Chains A and B, each alone.
Chain A
Amino acid sequence: MQAKTITRSLGWRTVTLWTLALFLLAAILGGMMENLLHPSWIRWQWWCAGCMLLFGWIQIRHRGLRQQHVPPFVLSVLVLPVLLAVVAPPVPLGADVLDRQDYALLRPQQRGQLQGREMPWLQGNHITLGEEHYFDALMTMHFNAEHFDGSSVEMTGFTATGRGVPAGHSLIARLLVTCHVAHAQPEGLLTADDSLVNLPDDTWVAVSGTLEYRQLEGRGELVLGHPQYTILEDPPSPYVFLQ
């Protein structure tokens, strides 16, 4: 009887569309999570999908709030994410982030103290910019640029020459993700090497070289000098997730 009431007030088409939308949301978003979220958050999405299906079931069965229904306008707004996900599925972000974010504004200009700081990514004079300590290592290097002059470094990243990257330079970058990729920010090392600068944006390279402390546009910067690189045909995810 209750099901008859709600279908009469909303129409069979709306109820069917809504139910389908909820199932689609669970299925589609579930498959797209790796392009959207920090891995440790993904399991929560299944919990969410379950909750939404439960809510949908409650509304259709009309338990608790009898003789009322959710207006069709509300339902149509809720279907928007599903429609958008179908029409334009999420893709991994890349150098296009620098079309919107200005790298010059994302590099701290302050100086910090190295004393007492653990640096597991530093072995002697060699820096390995791996995923595990990516943010910590780069922040330490930005805050103590002169200290790392002459250190050797190896990293993997994509090339980017967008906003805030000085002319004649390219950024070898990864995107730092704290929770979800909407707030992904480019972090990496600049290089002035011609062959790297001339590569198209979003070219993935495994690169090693020596850090050189230079003045660039009035600020002290570490620049990757004498780089040796190989282009990666099968690039990893652009995201580095904060541990």
Chain B
Amino acid sequence: MSAFSTVFLSVFVGALPFLLIAVLTSGFIEVFLSRETLAKILPKHPLAAVVAVPLLGFVLPLCECGVIPVAGRLVRKGVPLSVALAFMLSNPILNPFPLLSTRTAFSFFPAMVPWRMAAAYAVAVTIGLIVMLMARLDPGTFAVRQYTGGGLWGILENNPQASAAGFGERLLDALAHASLEFFNVGRFFILGSLAAAAVQVFVPQEALLQLAEHHLAAVAGMMGFAFVVSICSEADAFVAAGFLGTFPPGALLAFLVFGPMVDIKNTMMMLAAFPKAVVLRLVILIAALTLLAGMAANHWM
């Protein structure tokens, strides 16, 4: 019980600063960035926006938990889902912290750094493009409807804007939005952290890793491993580095790309920000593309 408590609390307090930065960012976007301003900042063409937005991580680095409320907020502010998803999927990997940790952990295998960055970029942009295309061909596939129900989303959606108020009042409004978003996402974050800690403490690693004996199974096995252990993108490279030589490089790449995009913790948080159908399709797409990237790396890395 103490080990479980230690693991859970360390996941919880370790990610808390990132979550708080994210909800504050989200609150400030809501109050201080109008739809018109946001439209001016982003490239006019959605294709250009999808291609460019993954580079934002070097200016606004967020973790895989923190990026979700910000992406959800961007969608509610009128940013196309394709752009928000490209941002959400790439940001936890394409930012300075995972870059440095991967370089340190893979100092004996430096090729992993550009491969990880390139694969994350390719997966995020491809998904952005697919969502953009689907929005034209079949708008129902990735529909994010305006929320009309009650509960916390209802409060967030239906709260009147204070655009005419003074700076002090708007600042308080931004903090109020941030606090409400914190309480909304926080419960999913806590439940996700509990599940991740339980898996780490009570499920032995071999249960999954023994599945991974062949190249394709190794890639899929490491993706499953990344999903259940829910390691944050700053630390995962050190775990992956230990597997060098035991697993093919493509499997390690899949672990490093899939984990920050989809794991137990952030899937629960995605369910708080997006409809279930969108999350399900997203997870399937990410898994398929990461599998492809892993197999490509096995061949060429």
Chain A residues with Cβ below 8 Å from B149 are: none
Chain A residues with Cβ below 8 Å from B1 are: 88
Q: Is B242 an interface residue (CB 8 A)?
A: yes
Q: Is A105 an interface residue (CB 8 A)?
A: yes
| Residue on A nearest B242 in the bound complex, by CB | A106
Chain A residues with Cβ below 8 Å from B14 are: 36-37, 41, 179-180, 182
Contact A93 B245 (CB under 8 A): no
Kindly identify, within residues 205 to 236 of chain A, every residue whose CB is under 8 Å from any CB belonging to chain B.
none
What is the interface of chain B, defined by CB distance below 8 A to chain A? Answer: 1-14, 16-17, 20, 24, 101, 104, 107-109, 151-152, 155, 159, 162, 172-173, 175-180, 182-184, 186-187, 190-191, 194, 197, 200-201, 203-206, 209, 231-232, 234-236, 238-239, 241-246
Measured between alpha carbons, how far is A216 from B191 in the docked complex, in Å?
42
Chain A residues with Cβ below 8 Å from B104 are: 242
Could you tell me the dominant secondary structure of chain A's interface residues?
Answer: helix
| Residue on B nearest A63 in the bound complex, by CB | B172
Contact B175 A64 (CB under 8 A): yes
Kindly identify, within residues 134 to 187 of chain A, every residue whose CB is under 8 Å from any CB belonging to chain B.
135-136, 139-140, 143, 163, 176, 178-183, 185
Chain A residues with Cβ below 8 Å from B3 are: 91, 93, 96
Contact A102 B152 (CB under 8 A): no
- The minimal Cβ–Cβ distance linking B27 to chain A, given in whole angstroms, is 9
Q: Is A90 an interface residue (CB 8 A)?
A: yes
Contact A100 B243 (CB under 8 A): no
Q: Is A55 an interface residue (CB 8 A)?
A: yes
Q: A84-B9, A105-B209 are in contact. Are A77 and B245 (CB under 8 A)?
A: no
Q: A41-B17, A54-B175, A100-B204 are in contact. Are A181 and B6 (CB under 8 A)?
A: yes
Contact A182 B179 (CB under 8 A): no
Measured between alpha carbons, how far is A18 from B241 in the docked complex, in Å?
42
Kindly identify which residue among A55, A100, A139 contacts B201, using a CB–CB cutoff of 8 Å: A100
| A interface, size bucket | 35 or more
Q: How many A-B residue pairs have CB under 8 A?
A: 197
Q: Is A81 an interface residue (CB 8 A)?
A: yes
Chain B residues with Cβ below 8 Å from A197 are: none
Contact A65 B239 (CB under 8 A): no
Chain A residues with Cβ below 8 Å from B236 are: 183
Measured between alpha carbons, how far is A183 from B241 in the docked complex, in Å?
13
Contact B245 A70 (CB under 8 A): no
Chain B residues with Cβ below 8 Å from A47 are: 17, 20
| Residue on B nearest A136 in the bound complex, by CB | B107
Measured between alpha carbons, how far is A114 from B152 in the docked complex, in Å?
56
- The minimal Cβ–Cβ distance linking B98 to chain A, given in whole angstroms, is 11
Kindly identify, within residues 62 to 97 of chain A, every residue whose CB is under 8 Å from any CB belonging to chain B.
63-65, 68, 70-71, 73-75, 77-78, 80-81, 84-85, 87-91, 93, 96
> Which A-B residue pairs are the 5 nearest by beta carbons?
A109-B245, A64-B176, A180-B14, A112-B108, A55-B179
Chain B residues with Cβ below 8 Å from A58 are: 172, 175-176, 179
Kindly identify, within residues 18 to 40 of chain A, every residue whose CB is under 8 Å from any CB belonging to chain B.
29, 32-33, 35-37
Kindly identify which residue among A74, A140, A183, A242 contacts B152, using a CB–CB cutoff of 8 Å: A74
Contact B159 A90 (CB under 8 A): no
Chain B residues with Cβ below 8 Å from A136 are: 107
Measured between alpha carbons, how far is A109 from B252 in the docked complex, in Å?
14
Q: A64-B177, A71-B151 are in contact. Are A110 and B13 (CB under 8 A)?
A: no
Q: A48-B20, A70-B152, A90-B9 are in contact. Are A185 and B175 (CB under 8 A)?
A: no
- The minimal Cβ–Cβ distance linking A168 to chain B, given in whole angstroms, is 20
Contact B2 A90 (CB under 8 A): yes
Chain A residues with Cβ below 8 Å from B179 are: 54-56, 58-59
Measured between alpha carbons, how far is A150 from B98 in the docked complex, in Å?
36
| Residue on B nearest A177 in the bound complex, by CB | B235
Chain B residues with Cβ below 8 Å from A65 are: 155, 159, 176-177, 180
- The minimal Cβ–Cβ distance linking A145 to chain B, given in whole angstroms, is 12
Contact B175 A37 (CB under 8 A): no
Q: Is A45 an interface residue (CB 8 A)?
A: yes
Beyond the given pairs A102-B204, A108-B241, 17 more chain A to chain B contacts, judged by CB atoms under 8 angstroms and listed by A's residue number, are A36-B9, A37-B13, A48-B13, A55-B182, A55-B183, A64-B159, A64-B175, A64-B176, A71-B151, A78-B183, A85-B5, A105-B243, A107-B242, A108-B242, A163-B204, A176-B238, A178-B235
- The minimal Cβ–Cβ distance linking B71 to chain A, given in whole angstroms, is 21
Q: Is A51 an interface residue (CB 8 A)?
A: yes
